[in-house]
Amino acid sequence: MADQEVLSSYAEGQRDFANAPLRDAEWSGVDLSGANLSGADLTYADLSDATFTGTNFSQATLRLVTFTRSRLQLAQFVQSRLVEADLRDADVRGADFRGADLSKAQFKGAYVDGAEFQGALGANLAGTLGTPRSLP
């Protein structure tokens, strides 16, 4: 499924895109709130300035993804691979990163109030704003 197909299907009311191969997706500025992208491969995707409130990214591959300035409140990243992901200045309040691989992920300037990081690997929360619910 191509990234533009997902946007069209989402606009038509579909929300389940689990396990979709979406490498290099160009979704800067889109709103995919509430979508199910669990298990999807979004390696190298540009998801900056986008809205993913309540979106499920659990067990997704998000290596080298750009989430800069994105709204990710209450999003689920349980056991996801966010290696070298860019979450600078993102709003991850209430997001769930339990068991995620956050090696070399950048969170500087991100809003982390209430976010869950229990069991997350490599989480560097230096320079973040707010207080997470739990730390790795």
pLDDT of amino acid 36: 98
Q: Which tokens belong to 57?
A: 């990214």
Position 1 scores a pLDDT of 65
Listed as ranges, residues in the chain with pLDDT below 50 are none
Residue 66's Cβ-count burial label (10 Å; 0-12, 13-18, 19+) is buried
CATH topology classification for 1-7+14-136 = Pectate Lyase C-like (2.160.20)
pLDDT at 77: 98
Q: How far apart are CA 105 and CA 123, in angstroms?
A: 7
Q: Length of the chain in residues, anyone?
A: 136
> What's the pLDDT at 45?
98
pTM of the model: 0.96
**Structure tokens belonging to residue 50:** 């986008």
